[in-house]
Amino acid sequence: MTFKAPDSLSEQIADYLAERIIRGELAPGERIQEQKVTQALNVSRGSVREALLILERRHLVAILPRRGAHVTTLDERSVRSLCALMGEFYILLGNAVAQKWRTETDLRPFLSIQQRLQQARDQQDIKAFVAESFAVMRAAYPFADNPYLQETVENLQPAMSRAYYLALDQRQASMLDYLDLFARLLDAVVARDLSGIREVLTAYCQRSCELVLAALARG
């Protein structure tokens, strides 16, 4: 495999490896050997090392002295910590949209995402569904206008995608449940109901956390 796009080569390699981790093709604790990646993707070892550093920032890889890079593990502590933190970030983004939207044009991106989520659900396309669920927060970034929040959420997003994918893939979570949540969230945003936004997102994150933990318990 050869990468030829003009984007950062290291970013492309990181995205490729992240996808394999998120989908469970690289198992928790599994070592990622630089030489094998270099040969498999026909890229330089330096680019692979930089990609692994990117994945470390995204909490998908741990790099240990003399032991190299390993896929991070998912356990109860990490899942609960991640869900609690992401829940607060989601609330910040939801509040920003509710406070700053002015016209229907401002809300159009979210309605488009809602349609794509429905299509992914109808096709039982887990990968597309997870991707569109995170497109929601990216559509909210301009309303928050906070580069620190955006950077932090982007670095945590792959780890959250991994958790969501696990739950959906093992049928512990329902895409229909998420569609219902999103509909209620949009209603709260349109009404500028900040307490409603917090209520919906807090309940959702708590429920998601329990579903991920149930999926982990099933192995």
Q: What is the pLDDT of residue 127?
A: 84
Domain ranges of the chain: 9-71, 76-217
Q: What is the pLDDT of residue 87?
A: 94
CA distance 198 to 189: 11
Q: What is the pLDDT of residue 123?
A: 93
Question: Where does the pLDDT of residue 49 fall: very low under 50, low under 70, confident under 90, or very high at 90 and above?
Answer: very high
Over residues 120-162, the pLDDT tens digits come to: 999 989 889 988 988 999 999 999 999 999 999 999 999 998 9
Q: Return the CATH architecture of domain 9-71.
A: Orthogonal Bundle (1.10)
CB atoms inside a 10 Å sphere around CB 76: 12
Q: What is the pLDDT of residue 111?
A: 96
Over residues 67-110, the pLDDT tens digits come to: 889 999 989 999 999 999 999 999 999 999 999 999 999 999 99
The tokens describing 36, both together, are: 């094998």
Q: What is the pLDDT of residue 126?
A: 86
Angle (nearest 5°) at CA 15 between 81 and 119: 80
Q: What is the pLDDT of residue 121?
A: 92
Of 53-62, 92-101, 156-165, 191-200, the one with minimum mean pLDDT is: 156-165
Mean pLDDT of 157-184: 86
Question: Where does the pLDDT of residue 6 fall: very low under 50, low under 70, confident under 90, or very high at 90 and above?
Answer: very low
Q: If one looks up domain 76-217 in CATH, what number appears?
A: 1.20.120.530
Helix, strand or coil, per DSSP, at residue 33: coil
Mean pLDDT of 113-119: 96
Q: What HEC string does 67-133 produce?
A: CEEEECCCCHHHHHHHHHHHHHHHHHHHHHHHHHCCCHHHHHHHHHHHHHHHHHHHCCCHHHHHHHH
The tokens describing 99, both together, are: 């406070």
Q: Do the two domains 9-71 and 76-217 of this chain adopt the same fold?
A: no
Q: What is the pLDDT of residue 3?
A: 46
Stated pTM of the model: 0.85
Q: In 3D, which of 161, 133, 178 has the Cα closest to residue 18?
A: 161
Q: What is the pLDDT of residue 177?
A: 86
Per-residue pLDDT at 193 exceeds 90? yes
In percent, the amount of the chain with pLDDT more than 70 equals: 95
Mean pLDDT of 10-23: 94
